[in-house]
Amino acid sequence: MTTQPPATTSHPAGLYVLFFTELWERYSFYALMAILTLYMDEALHFPQATSAQVYGVFLAGVYFMPLVGGFVADRWLGFSRAVILGAVLMGFGQLSLSMGGTTAFFLGLALVASGTGMLKPNISTIVGNLYRDRRELSDAAFNIFYMGINTGAFVAPMIVAWLRNHYGWGAAFMSAAIAMVLAIGTFIGFRRHLPTDDTKADRQATADAGGSSDDRSRIVALLVVFAIVVVFWVAFYQNGFTMTLWARDNTDTTISPEVFQSVNPLGIILFSPVLVGLWAALRRRNAEPSTPAKIVIGMILTALTFGIMAAAGMMGGDTGKVSASWLVSAYLAIALGEICVSPMGLSLVTKVAPPKHRATMMGAWFAATATGGYLAGFLGRYWGQMAHSQFFLMVAGLCVLAAVVMAIASKGLGKVFAAATK
């Protein structure tokens, strides 16, 4: 018979199992994202408007499917089995992409989107379940987990750029399929460190949960946050489309354009420990910003990102090429913004969502990401119709508007979240 460990400042071994599982899964996903636009443009020869539409629909599918995957796990499969199924589907999807051709391309995208839908909400929910009795460590745990995500995202563009340049598109996609094999091996091989019956654990938590009125207020508060954060994802996912085209066409460099996508995750890796330390120091002084306040800070930093890109356009990028330092600075700024938004959102869901809807609400978080991803592609259709500086100013303005709305709503949201986490 096992007993719950006492409150501690250390993290359970299961966190690191999930860290490395997600590292390989995110390598696989971001390897695809690094070359997706270039592959459609240079290998499949899609018109730019078609590429933008495919890009947006794919991202929408990737991040909408977690709503289905979370519901299926809550009701039938349980979290661990859903993670394994998702990883298998993603692996076959990358294998299909490596075969080449339009049919294999669309089949591969569909399998990757479906697999991500099963894996993403449920592995995040397992992270939260490890901290049921130590909620004060939840934000820090998700920051550590997020570093695993970004370690994979950091190395992926550089490796696939090298593979693409030396061995072709098929080898680049095949490396993503191999990464999914490593993810499955990590998760199954060290599964003993994870909750042994995640479905039962959630049912027990449901028995201790508040009433239906309390559940409704929690869900509504989370949905308000999700709706506002859609704007962040609209801005963030310009990285795989308009910012990749900028890297290729408007940056004075000999570096492969997809490599620049490594700068953002590198920023996450470098800045996450700094921000975790800052939040901890402020917490000891009872001055740590609330989660909604952190999201406001993140939206402001994201607006700054696209302000930098607008300035780069005005300095010559609208009609020619400018220094790579503009793009690097923008990627580092959005990395800080992402740390304040994305892991905080994941942590918020696991702390606030009613237990019986926890994985479903995690899926709803990713559905908000899906909406942002689709709208990123929709917005991307205007890339060739506007001056680049005007395009980036439009994105920056949307981020400022979202920050203002979040700041106004944060007072009421904070009360709901404080009550839910007592």
> Are 271 and 289 contacting, i.e. CB atoms less than 8 angstroms apart?
no
**250: confidence class by pLDDT, cuts 50, 70, 90:** very high
Distance CA 282, CA 66 (A): 34
Average pLDDT over residues 189-208: 60
**261: confidence class by pLDDT, cuts 50, 70, 90:** confident
Distance CA 393, CA 304 (A): 10
φ/ψ region of 61 (left if φ > 0, alpha if ψ in -120 to 50, else beta) reads alpha
* Fold of the 13-420 domain: Growth Hormone; Chain: A; (1.20.1250)
Distance CA 106, CA 129 (A): 35
Which is more confident, 348 or 107? 107
φ/ψ region of 168 (left if φ > 0, alpha if ψ in -120 to 50, else beta) reads left
Domain regions of the chain by residue span: 13-420
Distance CA 283, CA 301 (A): 22
Mean per-residue pLDDT over the chain, rounded: 86
pLDDT at 101 over 50: yes
Average pLDDT over residues 360-371: 83
> Are 22 and 14 contacting, i.e. CB atoms less than 8 angstroms apart?
no
> Are 153 and 265 contacting, i.e. CB atoms less than 8 angstroms apart?
yes
> 3-state DSSP call for residue 251?
strand
Q: What is the percentage of the chain residues whose pLDDT exceeds 70?
A: 91
pLDDT for the residue numbered 98: 95
**421: confidence class by pLDDT, cuts 50, 70, 90:** low
Which is more confident, 15 or 412? 15
pLDDT for the residue numbered 353: 84
Tokens coding 397:
């303005």
> Are 105 and 97 contacting, i.e. CB atoms less than 8 angstroms apart?
yes
For residues 49-73, one letter each, b for 16 or more C-beta atoms within 10 angstroms of the residue's C-beta and e for the rest, the string is: eebbbbbbbbbbbbbbbbbbbbbbb
pLDDT for the residue numbered 46: 93
pLDDT for the residue numbered 7: 46
Distance CA 350, CA 352 (A): 6
Closest CA to 242 of 382, 348, 116: 382
Tokens coding 197:
């019956």
Closest CA to 120 of 4, 258, 13, 25: 25
Q: What is the DSSP string of 334-365?
A: HHHHHHHHHHHHHHHHHHHS-GGGHHHHHHHH
Among 56-60, 302-306, 345-349, the range of highest mean pLDDT: 302-306
> Are 40 and 100 contacting, i.e. CB atoms less than 8 angstroms apart?
no
pLDDT at 399 over 90: yes
**321: confidence class by pLDDT, cuts 50, 70, 90:** very high
Q: Residue 179: exposed, middle, or buried by beta-carbon count in 10 A (0-12, 13-18, 19+)?
A: buried
pLDDT tens string 339-361 = 999 888 877 887 788 877 777 78
pLDDT for the residue numbered 201: 42
